[in-house]
Amino acid sequence: MADTGEKAASGITVLCGGAMQGLITDAVTLLLPNDRIDVRFGLTSTLRKEIENGAAFDIALLPRPDIEALIRFGRIAEGSDTDTMRSAIGVAVRTGVPKPRIDTVDAFRRALREARLITYSDGPSGLYIAGLLDRLGIAAEMKPKTRLTTGPVAELVAAGEADIGIQQIVAILPVKGAVLVGPLPTELQSIIVYAAGISASSANAQAARTFIAFLASPEVVRLIRTKGLEPGRAGT
């Protein structure tokens, strides 16, 4: 594990949004063998509901609005929250097909309208995309040719079940058979900030703090960037 100036984090349970699965899985492999980190991935809304209902955990790694809501709810300790990474939304197509232009608002709108089917998720990025289609004035037009999924949208694109997938870039890059076209146009982009918060009832708060500090270590910051993310802390 990275030298954070503290003992290695061990024996902690992390509840983490599904989009971060590839990153956190790889990050955990950098830990020492005696660092016992149990990570469970899931849909953000599902994990938040479980936490509100009393699920046991030491760290929640979720979009910042959900962490803040859980602080207000009393399930995450006030002052324990830390921004860990920033995630942009991108567009995916099947490997080998021509990439549509998406570099301007008009080009992105045109690409969606010309697609046979599009897909986006039920997660944080999907909520944003649903509102974005309305802002673009094409929500009604796109509704009959939109497929929602709880998993990686790029998997549907790779399987030929949708022409265009829109999701966090970190969830697009690992999928074989799909390729990232690029991020949404700057005017339409929404950066999702993932924050880590420690359970108000954690018996392993010190180990939890050590693990969160590890996520800001140089080795994990390098990994964060290879996954299409940016570190969440200024100056890292």
Q: What is the pLDDT of residue 198?
A: 98
**pLDDT tens readout for residues 141-183:** 999 999 999 888 999 999 999 999 999 999 899 999 999 999 9
Top-confidence residue, 180 or 36:
180
178 and 147 fall within a common domain: yes
**Whether the predicted pLDDT of 202 surpasses 70:** yes
The pLDDT confidence band at residue 4, using thresholds 50, 70 and 90, is very low
The encoded tokens of residue 147 equal 């497929």
Q: What is the pLDDT of residue 8?
A: 44
> For residue 72, with 0-12 CB atoms within 10 Å meaning exposed, 13-18 middle and 19 or more buried, which class applies?
exposed
From CA 139, how far away is CA 130, in angstroms rounded? 8
51 neighbors 26 (Cβ within 8 angstroms): no
Please report, rounded to a whole number, the percentage of residues in the chain having pLDDT higher than 90.
82
52 and 139 fall within a common domain: no
The pLDDT confidence band at residue 36, using thresholds 50, 70 and 90, is confident
Q: What is the pLDDT of residue 236?
A: 38
102 neighbors 129 (Cβ within 8 angstroms): no
What is the mean predicted confidence (pLDDT) over 114-119? 97
The encoded tokens of residue 46 equal 């599902």
Would you say residue 2 lies in a domain? no
Would you say residue 220 lies in a domain? yes
Q: What is the pLDDT of residue 185?
A: 97
19 and 59 fall within a common domain: yes
92 neighbors 168 (Cβ within 8 angstroms): no
Domains identified in the chain, total number: 2
- What CATH number does residue 126 fall under? 3.40.190.10
138 and 214 fall within a common domain: no
The pLDDT confidence band at residue 1, using thresholds 50, 70 and 90, is very low
77 neighbors 199 (Cβ within 8 angstroms): yes
Would you say residue 131 lies in a domain? yes
Distances (CA, A) of 159 to 95, 162, 177, 199: 10, 8, 8, 39
**pLDDT tens readout for residues 65-115:** 999 999 999 999 999 999 999 999 999 999 999 999 999 999 999 999 999
Report phi then psi at 192, rounded to 5.
Answer: -95, 120
Mean predicted lDDT score pLDDT of the chain: 91
Q: What is the DSSP letter of 74?
A: T
Would you say residue 3 lies in a domain? no
What is the mean predicted confidence (pLDDT) over 186-211? 95
What is the mean predicted confidence (pLDDT) over 206-211? 94
Q: What is the pLDDT of residue 235?
A: 36
Instruction: Show the domain range for 55.
Output: 12-86+193-231
**Whether the predicted pLDDT of 6 surpasses 60:** no
Q: What is the pLDDT of residue 52?
A: 97
Top-confidence residue, 49 or 121:
49
